[in-house]
């Protein structure tokens, strides 16, 4: 079993907290933006087994193949948690208890938590809330 410290280090180096804003009228219709929150770790193809251990550690999420068509890049696998309940009940509490060391990753995590909290409180259903979420998202990954 992987240790909590190992998961933190792996996330500091190869992980991401990401938010997608899906406009209304997507494949399922609807009149409101859908906010998707994702935690993932992406590794080279030969580290597939390690991602399975990360999945076992958290007890949720999935591992996906990710082709990389760029020259001099290898195909990858990605461990990802996108279920909002699992993000809220597993991923966020873990990283609140086991602090990230990377400044950029910690900044993204804090913004991610603010967005998740706003979605829980249904703030994304208001124009002002959606604008605030867009502003928070724009500060991520910089």
Domain count for the chain, please give it: 1
Q: What is the CATH number of the domain that holds 98?
A: 3.10.28.10
Q: Please state the three-class secondary structure of the chain as a single string.
A: CCCHHHHHHHHHHHEEEEEEEECCCECCECCCCEEEEEEEEEEEHHHHHHHHHHHHHHCCCEEEEECCCCCCCCCEEEEEECCHHHHHHHHHHHHHHCCCCCHHHHHHHHHHHHHHHHHHCCHHHCHHHHHHHHHHHHCCCC
The range of the structural domain enclosing residue 71 comes to: 4-138
Per-residue model confidence (pLDDT) at position 29: 52
Q: Which pLDDT tens digit goes with each residue over 66-90?
A: 988 888 878 899 999 999 999 999 9
| Residue at token pair 């410290």 | 5
Q: Which residue has the higher pLDDT, 121 or 68?
A: 121
pTM comes to: 0.92
Per-residue model confidence (pLDDT) at position 99: 97
Sheet holding 34-44, edge to edge: 15-22, 34-44, 76-81, 62-66
């Amino acid at each position: 079993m992987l240790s909590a410290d190992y998961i933190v280090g792996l996330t500091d180096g190869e992980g991401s907290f990401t938010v997608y804003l899906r406009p209304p009228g997507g494949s399922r219709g609807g009149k409101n933006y859908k906010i998707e929150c994702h935690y993932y770790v992406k590794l080279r193809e030969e580290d597939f087994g390690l991602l399975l251990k990360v999945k076992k550690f958290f007890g949720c999420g999935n591992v996906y193949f990710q082709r990389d068509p760029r020259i001099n890049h290898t195909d990858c696998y990605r461990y990802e948690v996108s279920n909002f309940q699992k993000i809220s009940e597993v991923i966020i509490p873990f990283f609140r208890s086991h602090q990230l060391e990377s400044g950029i990753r910690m900044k993204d995590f804090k913004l991610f938590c603010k967005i998740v909290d706003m979605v829980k409180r249904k703030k994304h259903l208001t124009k002002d809330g959606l604008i605030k979420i867009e502003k928070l998202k724009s500060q991520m990954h910089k």
